[in-house]
Amino acid sequence: MEKRCFKSFFRVFFAVLCAATLAFSALGASGIASSAFPVENSAPRHYDVSERLDVPLALGIALTSALGVYQYYGMERVSAGDLRAKSDFLPWDRPFVGRYSEWATVVSHYTGALAVVPLALAGYSWYNGDADAYDFGAFALMFVEAFALQNALNQIVRSSQLWPRPYVYAERGKGAKKAKEARGEAYGSFYSGHASAAFTVATFTGEWFSEIYPNSNYKALVWTSSYALAAGVGILRVVAGKHYPSDVIFGALMGAGVSFGVLKLHEICKKNIAIWAIPGNIGAVFYF
């Protein structure tokens, strides 16, 4: 059931991604506002998208995601004799080997609802007249790109099965039961996808607020609270026995790094660069 749900989500996710990419790329290329996006040509834009950047970027992300899904669902269980020894773990990770918490697992899964925060904030700004439809659409597209990319990279890295989740080593209680039922993905703990996604959400939340309300006294509060909530998600994953501190720290860095990378790429590529990507090849064209 979980696998079917994930596949359905995957199809919908990339359908939305491709549709949004083509729509906003066409809008960015023409520079003409349609009835659906009533933006005057002279109006300053907080964000921008274009077909020469976002179409190949979306294609590259889609291909990377397909590879990630293929490898992720190809992960196999590791026999007990081949498991990494507890003494092989990093010193700060060893205390969490064998840990499992059911309540923390459940709560950490529900934190996925935080993914709507950046779009909800952007939607409120649009509704309130602080941003226009084009800004909202461009921001939403960048968020989807960053979220999809960090998820794809996480699946590719996790499929290398660097080390198992902490609960795989549980020897009693519900943890031991879960370890016996563990699927192949449980043997790839590094790195935390929840932490990566949470810090992607936090970064885009802070970015939107800072861009639309640059003079607000609440900017520091928004950034701090966003990252604090994201850190809380990571802590829950450690308490749950799903990840080690190293998994969460690296996941946080990946999520924030990918987010800032996508944002910066759109900033510097507005006028002077286009990228293209095909399987096994990637390149760029500079405009002067």
Confidence of residue 268 (pLDDT cuts 50, 70, 90): low
Tens of pLDDT, residues 15-39: 444 444 444 443 443 343 333 334 3
Q: Give CA–CA dist 144/58, Å, rounded.
A: 10
- Lowest mean pLDDT segment, chosen from 4-18, 42-56, 83-97, 181-195: 4-18
Q: What is the pLDDT confidence band of residue 267, given thresholds at 50, 70 and 90? A: confident
Per-residue pLDDT tens digits for 171-186: 888 989 999 988 999 9
Spell out the long-range contacts of 268-277 with Cβ–Cβ below 8 A and sequence spacing 24 or more.
269/50, 269/53, 270/48, 270/50, 273/53, 274/50, 274/52, 274/53, 274/56, 275/52, 275/53, 275/56, 275/57, 276/56, 277/56, 277/57, 277/59, 277/60, 277/63
| Cα atoms in the 13 Å half-sphere on the side-chain side of 97 | 16
Does the pLDDT value for residue 40 go beyond 80? no
Count of domains forming the chain: 1
Any bridge partners for residue 276, and if so which? 283
33-42, 67-76, 249-258: which has the highest mean pLDDT? 249-258
pLDDT value of position 265: 86
Which range is least confidently modeled, 18-27, 146-155, 197-206, 252-261?
18-27
**In angstroms, what CA-CA distances link 172 with 89, 107, 168, 236, 242?**
21, 22, 11, 21, 16
What's the rounded mean pLDDT across residues 260-273?
74
Query: Do 258 and 200 contact (CB within 8 A), yes or no?
Result: yes
Give the domain range for residue 16: 2-286
The pTM of the whole model exceeds 0.75: yes
Cα→Cα distances 25→28, 53, 56, 284, Å? 5, 8, 11, 17
Tokens standing for 235? 């802590």
Quick check: 227 pLDDT over 50? yes
